[in-house]
Amino acid sequence: MRKIYGLIWLLLLGVVPAGQAQKIVRGTVQDNSSKEGLLGVAVTLKNTEVGTVTDVQGNFQLAISRDTVTLVFSFVGFEPLERKLIVTRDTTTLALVHLKAACHLDFFYSKHLELSLLSGLRYTPLGGKVKVFYPYLIPYLIHARHSMGSLRAEFSYQRGAATYQRNATLALDNLFVDCYHNVDVAASYQRVWVGERRFAYTRYTAGATYTGKLIGRAFREVPVYLAVGRLTYAAEEISAARTGLEAGVDYPFFIHLNDSRTANLALIATGRVAWWQDYWQFQSGLEAQFKKCSVGLSFNKLGLYTEVTTRVGFSIERRRTRKPVGR
């Protein structure tokens, strides 16, 4: 009997160490954007409580007892990542693991109506502007994962003794949006008539504004505008119709008037250059918004027409709503 017990004991000594043989998996976890090591990333075996965390350099070492495993990498503010691997050596070193920042966008938009008084300093001293903003139109109509599709409609009219100017814009802001890209689209109409100089022009444009990393890290927050259009131009006995291109940028910046983390004064500088084959048009503007009040100054030049317009506006808003967008 003792011989039988001894034989069983020897068999157990041979089997147990083989079943508990440990293999080592090593690797490094980095931020996908900065390529720097991440401290405190949880590295666990999927569906188990076995795991470890990365050190200051983003390095980790984990002992496993299986040949085929799935490692789960998770860290606050980053998207979780799974990596399946087959371990054939006692020590295995993984290729660099890169975690991407989690994508959570919050838009605090509200339905609002903006009324403005306009005054041209040269030809059109009296005028007004109406702007209507209706957020989340496309998600209201259809399910669109990467679209806010907020409707923006603007109309303005200015008049002088023998001059008038009309402008209209219909746009869908945030037509496509994620953590790295934003696209707005717009169609615009502009009509100017100066009777005393027998000058007039009408232009139609359709374009898009892009904001994102495709234009470089340094300018990823600067919206870039590109449009195509058609111009009808008449001056005394000369008349022409031309197609052309328009390009420009919008440069937003914010000023904090107190200790609050929220910007109190928003400023937007805009610039547009249009090429109509035989003619060039230059437009620019500067707008400032403080709470519900806004002021602006704009410049427009095409051929014989040059005008500087001032604007004072007030916004009427409904209750602000929050709309999150995830990738």
Q: Which helix (H) or strand (E) holds 181?
A: strand 181-194
- Alpha-carbon dihedral sign for residues 140, 145, 150, 151: negative
Q: Mean pLDDT in runs of 10 for the chain (327 residues)?
A: 43 43 88 89 91 93 88 90 87 88 68 94 94 82 69 95 94 86 94 87 96 76 93 87 95 72 77 94 94 94 92 83 47
Name, in order, each residue with C-beta under 8 angstroms of 208's C-beta and a sequence gap of 6 or more.
Answer: 183, 184, 185, 186, 225, 226, 227
Q: pLDDT digit string (tens) for 1-14?
A: 444 444 443 344 44
Bridge-based pairing of strands 238-255 and 224-235 is antiparallel
What is the pLDDT, as a whole number, of residue 142?
62
In the chain, CATH 2.60.40.10 covers 2-99
Backbone angles phi and psi of 238, in degrees to 5: -105, 135
In terms of Cβ atoms closer than 10 Å to its own Cβ (0-12, 13-18, 19+), residue 288 is: middle
In the chain, CATH 2.40.160 covers 104-326
What is the pLDDT, as a whole number, of residue 288?
93
Task: Find out whether 39 and 58 touch, Cβ atoms under 8 Å.
Answer: yes
What is the pLDDT, as a whole number, of residue 10?
39
Rounded distance between C-alpha atoms, residue 281 and residue 300, angstroms = 7
Task: Find out whether 308 and 120 touch, Cβ atoms under 8 Å.
Answer: yes
Task: Find out whether 315 and 114 touch, Cβ atoms under 8 Å.
Answer: yes
What is the pLDDT, as a whole number, of residue 125?
92
3-state secondary structure of 195: helix
Confirm or reject CATH 2.40.160 for domain 104-326, answering yes or no. Answer: yes
Instruction: Give CA separation, 158 vs 43, 117, 118, 133, 165, in Å.
Output: 65, 10, 7, 22, 5
Helix, strand, coil in percent for the chain, rounding step 5:
10, 60, 30
Q: How big is the CA angle at 277 (ends 271 and 281), to the nearest 5 degrees?
A: 25
Rounded distance between C-alpha atoms, residue 301 and residue 165, angstroms = 13
Between the two ends of the chain, the Cα-to-Cα distance in Å is: 69
Architecture of domain 2-99: Sandwich (2.60)
What is the pLDDT, as a whole number, of residue 196?
75
Percentage of the chain lying above the pLDDT 70 cut: 83
